[in-house]
Structure 1
Amino acid sequence: MTAPLHLLFVCTGNSCRSQMAEGWARTLGGDRVIAESAGIEAHGKNPRAIAVMAEAGVDISAQESTRLSDDMLARADLVVTVCGHADEHCPVLPAGVRKLHWPLTDPAKATGTEEEIMAEFRRVRDEVNQRVHALLETELAADRTPND
């Protein structure tokens, strides 16, 4: 068995998008993935992100909002930035660590009624799910046997 793929999802405040991505990666990747998330800053956990992920059957309530560290970067096989600010301010990566960028809309900036705001959180949750699913399909393909 090969070592698990170590993914690190990075956004500005590690409160919504990167938290969702970490939750999806843990859920969809199982023991083939180690997922972490961090922010350029730590803004705390967003209760709406926790709620919409719970609606989809993914519990991210125990995940912490953390600041990006050199140790996290060193552990990662792949860093995925999920917003432009994080992409622009991501430190230089250690040799061998790859980087992807997903320009996701920040649901925390949604305005309108509570229903409209929650609809935006759900839309972003579903987009993150699709992106993580596709990423894992690609990245874990090497681990598959012809009978999978």
Structure 2
Amino acid sequence: MKQIGNYCEQFKAEESKLSPERIALLKCAAKAISVEVTDAHTPVKLMFICTHNSRRSQLAQAWAFVFSEYYFPNVFEVYSGGTEVTACHPNTLKSLQNIGFDVQARETSTVNAKHLLKFQNSSLSLYSKLYHTSEHPSTHFIAFMTCAQASKNCPVVFGAKHRFNFNFEDPKRFDDTPSAIIEYEKTALEIGRELHFLFNLVKHQTRTN
């Protein structure tokens, strides 16, 4: 993602778009994350959870991966998962590509295809999976619920040290409409704006340069 610095400046300039309620939530999450970073509990593990692990949780994981590598190389591990397995939606992948992410097909022989997101010298595999799959941490992680349905269906995320209801509107409602990709990009940028606020706040709280 060549323009990561530009996005950081853009999102910083757009912080006034964040509501007081979201700022309070992000500050609470940043405080919890900062404690983990400061106490050297590395890697600090973040899990983004949505019902189908198809849209919002994938977008959140992508931004968290990029910002963590940009601000805190080798400190974070970021994951995403769902309460059901579906697939990373094509509109999710297209919107990520359109806003500058380096997303490449890795495996396309199955419905739940795997795609590779590359940033600097690191990479992330994007595909749908359960949040409690064996490849994910089972303890000492921070959970972010990215949809209200997952928040309701998972009143307890076992193993999570902290849990935050980080809900966003589902761009799914625009599928099969002419404005689908534009609306997915809006959602992606909204998530990016909030996650930049989060990671930038953690950076200042931990005095990491």
TM-score, structure 1 length as denominator? 0.84
Instruction: Give the Cα–Cα distance (whole angstroms) in 1 for the partners of residues 150 and 138 of structure 2.
Output: 17
Root-mean-square deviation (CA, aligned residues, Å) is 2.3
* Equivalent residue number for residue 120 of structure 1: 183
In 2, the alpha carbon distance for the partners of 1:117 and 1:136 equals 28
1:136 aligned residue = 199
| TM superposition outliers: structure 1 runs of 4+ over 3 Å | 70-73, 93-96, 138-143
Unmatched tracts of structure 2, length 5 or more: 1-36, 104-114, 117-125
> TM-score, normalization: structure 2?
0.62
- 1:119, CA displacement in angstroms? 1.5
The secondary structure found in structure 1 opposite 2:45 is strand
Give the Cα–Cα distance (whole angstroms) in 2 for the partners of residues 8 and 140 of structure 1: 19
The runs of 5 or more residues in structure 1 that have no matched partner are none
After superposition, what is the alpha-carbon deviation per residue over 1:46-104, rounded to whole angstroms, capped at 9, x for unaligned?
11111111122224533120012175362452100011111111252346610111221
Structure with higher strand content: 2
Report if the CA contact (8 A) 2:143-2:160 is conserved.
no
Give yes or no for contact 2:99–2:185 (8 Å, CA) kept in 1: no
2:85 paired residue number: 42
* Aligned twin of 2:119: none
Q: Offset of 1:111 from its aligned partner?
A: 5.3
Match for 1:51: what amino acid?
K
Inter-CA distance 137–117: structure 2 relative to 1 (3 Å threshold): same
Q: Within the alignment, does 1:108 sit opposite 2:172 as a pair?
A: yes
Q: Percent identity?
A: 23
Bigger Rg, structure 1 or 2: 2
Counterpart for residue 58 of structure 1 = 101
Identify the match of residue 5 of structure 1 among 38, 44, 53: 44
- Match of 1:97, SS state, is strand
